[in-house]
Structure 1
Amino acid sequence: MSKGAAMRSRGSRRKQEGAVAITVAVCLVMLLGFAGLAIDIGNVMVARNQLQNAADAAAMAGAGCLIRRTACSNTTAPQPDWTTASAKASAFSTSTSTNKVQGAAVRASTVSTGSWTVTGTPSGLETLPFTPGPNDLPAVRVTIHKDGTDANGAVATFLSNVLGVQTLKASAVATAVLSQPGSVGPGGLFPLAMSKCLYDNYWDSTTSSPKLSPNNNILPGTSIAQQTGQPYFFQIGSSYHYGTCDSGQWTTFDQNNNSASYARSLLTSGNTTTFVIGASPGTWIQTGTENTLFNGTAACSAAGNGQCAWVTAPVVDTPSTSGFQPVVAFACLHIMNAQNGSKPYVLVQMTNDMSHCETPNAGGFGAGYGAYTPPRLVQ
């Protein structure tokens, strides 16, 4: 080979090696970019989950203040209390101790209040001003962005900027509601079935709150004085001694059982199965007065050890008839005391303070007699 040919050959190899080096470098950059993008996509997913957790928690916290609750400092507020609920959700979402996204506290959120339609028509949140219908529940919606549009900034990138991706975005929306229970699960009910007529006497369905005493008159048959401007004290007695609109009867829930000792075991343990409004066969109404149950109720009432001072009770149409009867509602009662004897009774007030009327294991949507489900997410 001539000297010139050898030089041309070496030059060609150098060009080829240079081209390969450039190709390898470009491929490495692209591979690095794609690897970085995969890492950053994973990071976005983590941020998205953290944002959703923060939005869920804030919406639930806000929904818990839609109804009067001592912890919300709104025991005299109108209901639903949109103002307190919105403020609670906003404060909770940006609390430095409750919500962290990528190690930093959420600094901005959007809170909306309104009505959520259980039928889904219309769908979504009907924001205020809005006149709710019978299938509308008070709701709180929280939206949190991490997309660079507010103080939360954008999702951090690691390597995907190699491909020119400078900003990653994530967001989350959560809506929580409150409702009167349509069902109550195990441990949520007190074994005293009340007549609907009795509740209607002391409950104002137009305001979903107890009727208030206009005076401090003495409750007949007792030495107890009503408190002006406070929910009525009233007696609930067996249908064997009281009229239909003043009566209630002990229940053994899903058990066809007229044993007083069995019913007494339910005073603090409650039901063992779930009850649904209108479902058959309903709850078992006992026969007889069962004085021992009035004694047991006195022992666990507010005047006793307080274990049954605040309860949710099933409501039926006519507790004077023994046998299974469908539940028509669930009511919240403050049991003050109980008295046995020739005309025994349980002394109660109706209430809708969620400090005491949030019924364990409750769900669904039913008639409003003071009891409420725990706040729950619908979006």
Structure 2
Amino acid sequence: MRTNGTRRKQKGAVAITVALCMVVLLGFAGLAIDIGNLLVARNQLQNAADAAAMAGAGCLIRRTECSNTTATQPDWTTATARASAFSTSTSTNKVQGAYVNVSTVSTGYWNVTGTPSGLEALPFTPTANDLPAVQVTIHKDGTNANGAVPTFLSKVLGVQILKTSAVATAVLSQPGSVGPGGLFPLAMSKCLYDNYWDQSTNSPKLSPNNNILPGTTVAQQTGQPYFFQIGSSYHYGACDSGQWTTFDQDNNSASYARSLLTGGNTTTFVIGASPGTWIQTGTENTLFNGTAACSAAGNGQCEWVTAPVVNTLSTNGFQPVVAFACLHILNAKNGSFPYVLVQMSNDMSHCETPNSGGFGSGYGSYTPPRLVQ
């Protein structure tokens, strides 16, 4: 028979057991809460690293907003400074209510095939598959001024802090594809661009003097990209000509092509893909008038454009696109020898082609910065 003393002892033992269990249960409950908080911090940290890497990659080449319009490419110094400044800005990138104080920025090349994998550190000689990249790493683990992720209820288990970090890598490339609205309906011959584009520096060739080029009417400006005229293949030589295109439509209508001057292509074009872009027949003087109206001399709606480049301008047929070029359209003239007056450019302020992706040969046009890690 149990006595009152025995029952009191049992009640005391149960109370101790319950108390111990409560500590453990509260610890695990606290750990669950703190793990959730850690995941939130990790997500905020990743967003901060992503944004900083993208900001840095946007300055890898010359860009007016980056104050590096005369920089050689890639501009590692400016890209690093921009990524670092963006990651620790006091107007962005809060993590758990506090701004990021410390980040690590690395630059190099990222191989799009994954062989080798990871960031290829400088100095490095890139191949066709290597893209200039900016990598940002941010730690919140108690090793620097960012601190660590604090715990709340987990302290009952002796867990004082939690650690996390984030890595983001952003790249720039010349587009391998351009989606709807990204292209101007003037197909250019590759040899024309080779006349005015320096492949060794990936930038426009600069005029050494103020002379007027043979067959043109505009004086050059010393040290500036060449002004050159693009005329119909019916009136100009192969390396001075372009031809109107209606992109994916077998259509020789001037009125339809004119509707594309500011609207652009309606489907995606990929370098080397068949059938390519449709090359119209005829000079289509009305299109030169329309281009003048939307050029820098007009309302500016087509002042900066990306144009498809083809090997040959054979009319009344499709031609594969071999590259995408950035053009500054200054004016256009119709008449017996109509032309579009342009300069080539690679200023990212104007040459970031919307809806573009992939990678390929290019003449000044670039994709928007994009994350690869």
Which category of TM-score, normalised to the shorter sequence, fits these structures?
A: over 0.9
Q: Which amino acid aligns with 2:97?
A: G
Structure 2 gap ranges (5+)? none
Q: Deviations over 1:149-174 (max 9, x none)?
A: 11111112110111111110111110
Matches within 5 A, 1:100-119: 100-119=94-113
The percent identity for this pair of structures is 87
Stretch moving more, 64-73 or 218-227: 218-227
Q: Deviations over 1:256-315 (max 9, x none)?
A: 000000000000000000000000000000000000000000010011111111000000
- Which structure has the larger Rg over C-alpha atoms? 1
Aligned to 1:158: 152
Aligned to 1:218: 212
Q: What's the CA shift for 1:16? A: 1.4
Aligned to 2:74: 80
Q: TM-score, normalised by structure 1?
A: 0.97
Would you say the 8 A contact 2:216–2:228 is kept in 1?
Answer: no
**What is the root-mean-square deviation of aligned Cα atoms in Å?**
1.1
Would you say the 8 A contact 1:240–1:320 is kept in 2?
Answer: no
Q: Which amino acid aligns with 1:20?
A: V
Structure 1 gap ranges (5+)? none
Aligned to 2:286: 292
Would you say the 8 A contact 2:216–2:229 is kept in 1?
Answer: no
| Matching of residue 66 in structure 1 with residue 57 in structure 2 | no
Q: Which amino acid aligns with 2:225?
A: P
Partner Cα separation in structure 2 for residue 347 and residue 102 of structure 1: 54
Would you say the 8 A contact 1:114–1:126 is kept in 2?
Answer: yes
Aligned to 1:283: 277
Partner Cα separation in structure 2 for residue 98 and residue 117 of structure 1: 30
| Matching of residue 355 in structure 1 with residue 327 in structure 2 | no
Would you say the 8 A contact 1:205–1:368 is kept in 2?
Answer: no
Would you say the 8 A contact 2:148–2:163 is kept in 1?
Answer: yes
Q: What's the CA shift for 1:130? A: 1.1
Would you say the 8 A contact 1:226–1:233 is kept in 2?
Answer: yes
Stretch moving more, 154-163 or 272-281: 154-163
Q: What SS class does the counterpart of residue 251 from structure 1 fall into?
A: strand
Partner Cα separation in structure 2 for residue 200 and residue 320 of structure 1: 19
Matches within 5 A, 1:319-334: 319-334=313-328
Q: Which amino acid aligns with 1:313?
A: A
Would you say the 8 A contact 1:65–1:81 is kept in 2?
Answer: yes
| Matching of residue 123 in structure 1 with residue 117 in structure 2 | yes
Partner Cα separation in structure 2 for residue 9 and residue 301 of structure 1: 103
Aligned to 1:46: 40
Would you say the 8 A contact 2:252–2:281 is kept in 1?
Answer: yes
Stretch moving more, 33-42 or 124-133: 124-133
Q: Deviations over 1:81-133 (max 9, x none)?
A: 00000000000001111101111111111100000001110001001111111
Would you say the 8 A contact 1:59–1:174 is kept in 2?
Answer: yes
Q: What SS class does the counterpart of residue 180 from structure 2 fall into?
A: coil
Partner Cα separation in structure 2 for residue 129 and residue 285 of structure 1: 44
Aligned to 2:126: 132
Number of residue pairs matched by the alignment: 373
Q: Deviations over 1:32-89 (max 9, x none)?
A: 0000000000000101110110000000000000010000000011110000000000
